Structures are given as structure tokens and as C-alpha cells.
């Protein structure tokens, strides 16, 4: 039958009669317009509706977060000398300080192991330009060595790899210390942040691969045995330079003495100009933030000025005209009989405010790093005349 012939035929649904009968029985109410009950959801439909509900909930939560006011980041310049608690990574500590100050920029001046406590200088804002000067400065550590076990991390968090029943005497320990002072070659721990072909050594070690690190020259200015609280432990203090690993010292002490050893406690007491007196605990800092929010204190009291990191560098004061040139990156000629005779790196100030790090020589000042200290700046130590 052709399409034309089909279109000319009338078609009656087999349900038409049933619908008419029910309509008459129902008092003239049309059955066709009566709402039908929803069929029970199939398993796939139920999962889809559940997923859709989760998406809607997530979208609503995201909208609420967007509607909540965000704390604006601000310009904060100076040093926070954190007394880092044990168990916290240096990276986490920086994140916490940055959040407390709502600072735009932050960074630390030398990693402190999670196991360790003590001095962690954290630079905010323009102070980050002076981080290399703190990293290159002398550091002081007080640490405890536990004899009888060598561990793969060279501290108490690692796996025991060798043991010994021998215990050294104070005289035996004192006898080897001169071999670890001055310029020495030291092999860093396998679990360290040193990069090997772009990967951190500790990541390679955690993957079970063999880590081969080459000895490096480090400088140890002082190394003293402080006490031996019991035959299994000894407490030391050391002043050392950049790149020295205290964990490696403990490992090498144990090997040389034939008794094995690892660091069981470690505290950094000083980094460059920052010592115990300059440190502030996380609890003290959080309390200060609460008082500052109530208008009872200032966060500047916990910030050390940017130039504190430059204590070992000569200062040079200039007039405002010369300061303006230096801040534009232009050199300044030193003229007249009263011109300072300086050679090398200086930090430049105007009216007591840091404006630049510069090289002096051949009668001129050439700016190397320029500082813009607009915003919150550090005032800690100023009442002491520092």
C-alpha cells in the first residue's frame, strides 16, 4: 500500500472504546487528562539523579564560597623568626605565617627538618630579596645522638639498618671531634632535599632506588660535646656553614666510633643575626594576631626589619635626590671631599629607610636590588636600638 493510500485511511486506537467507557463511568471526566503515576525509577536513573543532586550541592557550596568575602593580600615587609615546632615542615610553616599576615609573598631562609625545632627565619614581601644573605650565614645547632643504631634517614624517623652494642666514652668522642671541624668533606643523607637529575634525593630513596650522593665541602667552625645524660646518648653543639647536615655528622660519628648512631633530637638555636631572643612561637604569634584584630597590638611588633638580614654589610646614607635616582635603577656619582670611600656591596638608606642594595666603586653607586617598602614594615627590635 502506498504512502498516499495510508494517509487517506482513518485510524482508531484499540483503547478508544475503553477510554470512552471509563470517561462515562467517571461522570464525564476525561480519563486521557488524568495524571498517570510516575513509574518506579530504574537503577541507572536513580544513580543519575543522585549524581545530579551531588552536582547541585557542590555548585551551591561553590556559590556560597564565592559570596564569602576573601581576605585581601597586602604588602608586608620584614622577617618573622619562627620557633618551629616539631612535626611541621618548613613549607607548611611558611604557608601558616603568610596566612596570618595576609602577605602577598613569603619564603624561608633554609629548610629545617620536620623532626627539628627552633629558628626558622621567614621572609615576607621585600625581605625575600635578602634571603640569600641569611642562607649563607652561620647556623648554630644543639643535637642529641643516640648510639647503637644507624637508620636509613639518619634520624629517629627512619628504618634501622645497622645496630651495635658498643657505647663510646666521653674521651673517645672528644678525640674524634677535631676531624669534623674546619673545612671537611661530608656526604649528605640519602633522605635529603638535594636534587639528582631534577629529582629530590628523598623522593628517589622513598621509591626504593639507590641514592648515590657525592661528598661536598662544608665548613664547621665549632663542634663541642655538651653532655652525656646516659651511656646511650650524647648532646652536641655546633656552629656551621651553609649545606652542613647535622644528621650526617651523627651518622659519621657512629661509624668512626664503631657504635653506629643517629640524631634523636635537633634544635636550631641561631641563624645569622637571629637567635633565641628573636624567635616567636606559633601560639604567641596567633595570640598577637588576635590582639591586633581587636586593635590592641600591631603585627609589626613580630616583624624584624628587612635590613636585619644585612647586618654584615656596610650601610651608606644618601640624600633624597640620589635616592630617587637609585630607585629608578640609575647610578649615582660620589662627589666631593666628603664622599665615602667604599668598595663593594653596601645597603643604601635615605632618612633611615632601606632603598637599595648597591655596588660601590670607581666613584659611583650602582643599584643591584631596589626595595619598595610601602605597606606594613617590621618594628621588632627598634625599641632596643637594633
The cell numbers describing 345, all together, are: 656591596
**Is residue 112 classed exposed, middle or buried when 0-12, 13-18 and 19+ CB atoms within 10 A define those classes?**
buried
- Per DSSP, the three-state class of 283 is helix
Which of 72, 75, 83, 113 is the catalytic position?
Answer: 113
- Per DSSP, the three-state class of 157 is coil
The cell numbers describing 236, all together, are: 652536641
Total residues belonging to the chain:
386
CA 135 to CA 115: how far, in whole Å? 20
Dihedral pair phi/psi, residue 97, rounded to 5°: -65, -40
For 318-331, give the DSSP string: --HHHHHHHHTT--
Q: Which residues contact 84 (CB under 8 A, 6 or more apart)?
A: 90, 93, 112, 116, 117, 118, 119, 120
- Per DSSP, the three-state class of 115 is coil
113 counts as catalytic = yes
CA 350 to CA 343: how far, in whole Å? 19
Q: Which residues contact 279 (CB under 8 A, 6 or more apart)?
A: 81, 82, 83, 118, 119
Residue 182 per-residue DSSP state: E
CA 203 to CA 211: how far, in whole Å? 10
Contact 340, 334 (CB under 8 A): yes
Contact 155, 264 (CB under 8 A): yes
Integer CA distances (angstroms), 44 to 48, 49, 169, in order: 6, 9, 74
Cite the active site residues. 113
Amino acid at each position: 500500500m502506498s504512502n498516499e493510500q495510508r494517509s487517506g485511511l482513518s485510524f482508531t486506537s484499540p483503547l478508544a472504546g475503553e477510554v470512552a467507557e471509563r470517561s462515562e463511568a467517571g461522570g464525564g471526566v476525561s480519563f486521557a487528562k488524568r495524571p498517570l503515576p510516575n513509574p518506579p525509577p530504574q537503577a541507572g536513573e536513580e544513580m543519575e539523579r543522585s549524581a545530579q543532586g551531588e552536582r547541585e550541592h557542590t555548585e551551591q557550596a561553590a556559590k556560597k564560597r564565592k559570596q564569602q568575602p576573601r581576605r585581601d593580600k597586602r604588602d608586608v615587609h620584614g622577617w618573622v623568626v619562627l620557633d618551629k615546632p616539631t612535626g611541621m615542615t618548613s613549607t607548611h610553616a611558611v604557608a601558616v605565617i603568610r596566612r596570618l599576615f595576609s602577605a602577598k609573598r613569603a619564603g624561608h631562609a633554609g629548610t629545617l627538618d620536620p623532626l627539628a625545632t627552633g629558628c626558622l627565619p621567614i621572609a615576607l614581601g621585600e625581605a625575600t630579596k635578602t634571603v640569600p644573605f641569611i642562607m649563607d650565614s652561620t647556623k648554630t645547632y644543639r643535637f642529641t645522638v643516640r648510639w647503637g643504631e644507624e637508620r636509613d634517614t639518619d634520624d629517629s624517623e627512619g628504618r634501622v639498618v645497622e645496630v651495635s652494642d658498643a657505647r663510646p666514652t666521653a674521651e673517645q668522642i672528644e678525640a674524634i671531634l677535631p676531624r669534623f671541624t674546619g673545612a671537611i668533606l661530608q656526604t649528605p643523607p640519602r633522605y635529603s632535599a638535594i636534587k639528582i637529575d631534577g629529582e629530590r634525593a628523598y623522593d628517589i630513596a622513598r621509591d626504593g632506588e639507590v641514592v648515590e650522593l657525592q661528598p661536598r665541602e662544608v665548613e664547621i667552625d665549632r663542634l663541642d660535646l655538651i653532655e652525656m645524660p646516659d651511656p646511650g646518648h650524647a648532646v652536641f653543639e655546633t656552629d656551621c656553614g651553609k649545606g652542613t647536615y647535622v644528621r650526617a655528622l651523627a651518622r659519621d660519628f657512629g661509624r668512626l666510633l664503631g657504635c653506629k648512631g643517629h640524631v634523636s633530637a635537633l634544635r636550631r638555636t641561631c641563624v645569622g643575626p637571629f637567635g633565641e631572643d628573636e624567635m616567636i612561637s606559633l601560639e604567641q604569634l596567633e595570640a598577637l594576631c588576635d590582639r591586633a584584630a581587636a586593635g590592641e597590638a600591631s603585627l609589626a611588633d613580630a616583624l624584624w626589619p628587612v635590613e636585619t638580614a644585612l647586618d654584615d654589610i656596610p650601610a651608606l646614607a644618601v640624600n633624597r635626590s640620589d635616592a630617587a635616582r637609585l630607585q629608578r635603577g640609575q647610578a649615582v656619582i660620589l662627589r666631593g671631599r666628603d664622599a665615602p670611600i667604599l668598595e663593594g656591596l653596601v645597603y643604601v638608606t635615605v632618612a633611615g629607610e632601606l632603598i637599595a642594595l648597591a655596588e660601590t666603586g670607581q666613584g659611583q653607586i650602582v643599584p643591584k636590588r631596589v626595595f619598595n617598602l610601602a605597606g606594613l614594615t617590621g618594628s621588632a627590635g627598634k625599641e632596643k636600638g637594633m
